[in-house]
Structure 1
Amino acid sequence: MLYLIELWETVRGFISTGGDVLWIVFGVLAIMWILMIERYWFMFIEFPTIRKNIIERWDSREDTTSWYAHRVRDAWISEASELLNARILLIKTLVAVCPLIGLFGTVTGMISVFEVMAVSGTGNPRLMASGISMATIPTMAGMVAALSGVFFSSRIETRVRVEVEKLVDSLPHH
């Protein structure tokens, strides 16, 4: 329990140093990771059952060679592809937004520096340093959040492509 309190205090200190924009970065990062974990859950836990059902329906068909049968097969593959690709665009959008939110934090931090300079002049480096750290920390946090999202979202996209190809290969068209 003491460890969690210390961890929370460390996070609060980091956020107070970087400004309130870090809460936005954290919120976007949390939503992005929830969506990515959901996609992994779907691909590894739920989709194998869906793929098995599609293959069983295809294998139980008497007609697998006609034009109509091929359109049914294409429709089933398309539906499976849609299920696999759900929310991937949203994940990619959140990945792209993270650095922009970090840059927003940079702007707000620089405004803080300019306010300090306007009030106390350039003679107080301590006050200016807090504003500069408030300007750089959100940028770093936004970039780190985006990098984690880029890596895992590209892995999800690759896995989706592989799953669709495996499904296509499992539904032979004679």
Structure 2
Amino acid sequence: MRDRLIDLYYQMQDFMAAGGPVLWAILALTILLWSLICERYWYFFRRHPAEFKAALSAWHARADKQSWYAQSIREAWIADLDIGLRRFLPLLNAVIAILPMTGLLGTITGMIQVFDVLAVTGTGNPRAMASGVSAATVPTMAGMVAALSGLYFATRLNRLAKTEVRSITDRISRLED
């Protein structure tokens, strides 16, 4: 088991070296992406139900539910819950949009390495150009894979937030009668 972990460590180190320095930025963005996704799921399934229950019980405890003032309080509570549900979703979408662009930055830096090798050694040494080609393709692939892996969850979280806000509005409105 220990040997497999050491092997995995060296393979990861080789992969990061092949992709160049931009791959470290992609790794950092990917960690941020998955941290945001995990935080949002934790909020949706752990923290939000308690907040909704508190708002619902506070609305149910009110004697006046028909006045303009009561309706304004209801709308404020719904807006607070909506803000909590949508928090960090724009940042999540921005990170997903930035990941492929960071991969393309890796392509540019890798091509610069290829051109440096061409300037120094000429066109006759393909082995010298291989590291630049690797540094050009690996970050692009890594950025695209990381963005695609988070895209499904970001779309699902956005849809979940919209559905939950509609449900909150309906459930609090039902008590107005």
Length-normalised TM-score, structure 1: 0.96
Look up the equivalent residue of 2:23 and give its one-letter code. Answer: L
Q: Which runs of 4+ in 1 moved over 4 A?
A: none
Q: What is aligned with 1:134? A: 135
Distance 2:3 2:56 in 1: 52
Three-state SS of the structure 2 residue aligned to 1:123 is coil
Give the AA of the match of 1:95: I
Shift in Å, 1:2: 2.7
Distance 2:3 2:32 in 1: 27
Q: Following the alignment from structure 1 to structure 2, what is the Cα–Cα distance between the partners of residues 149 and 109?
A: 25
Residue 143 (str. 1) matches residue 144 (str. 2): yes
Shift of 1:3: 2.5
Q: How does 1:115-130 map to 2 (within 5 A)?
A: 115-130=116-131
Identity of aligned residues (%): 44
Q: Unaligned regions of 5+ residues in structure 2, if any?
A: none
- 1:46, CA displacement in angstroms? 0.6
Please name the residue that 2:159 is paired with: 158
What residue in structure 1 maps to residue 56 of structure 2? 55
Post-superposition Cα deviations, 1:38-70, rounded to whole Å, max 9, x if no partner, equal 010000011000011111001111111111111
- The alpha carbon displacement at 1:32 in A equals 1.1
Q: Equivalents in 2 of 1:167, 1:2: separation in Å? A: 52
Kindly indicate whether residue 9 of structure 2 is the aligned counterpart of residue 8 of structure 1.
yes
Query: CA offset at residue 135 of structure 1?
Result: 0.3
* RMSD of aligned residue pairs (Cα, Å): 1.0
1:110-149 Cα offsets, whole Å, 9 max, x none, are: 0000000000000001111221111011001011111112
Which residue of the partner structure matches residue 102 of structure 2? 101
Q: Which aligned pairs between 1:20-39 and structure 2 lie closer than 5 A?
A: 20-39=21-40
Secondary structure of the corresponding residue to residue 25 of structure 2 = helix
Q: Which amino acid aligns with 2:149?
A: S
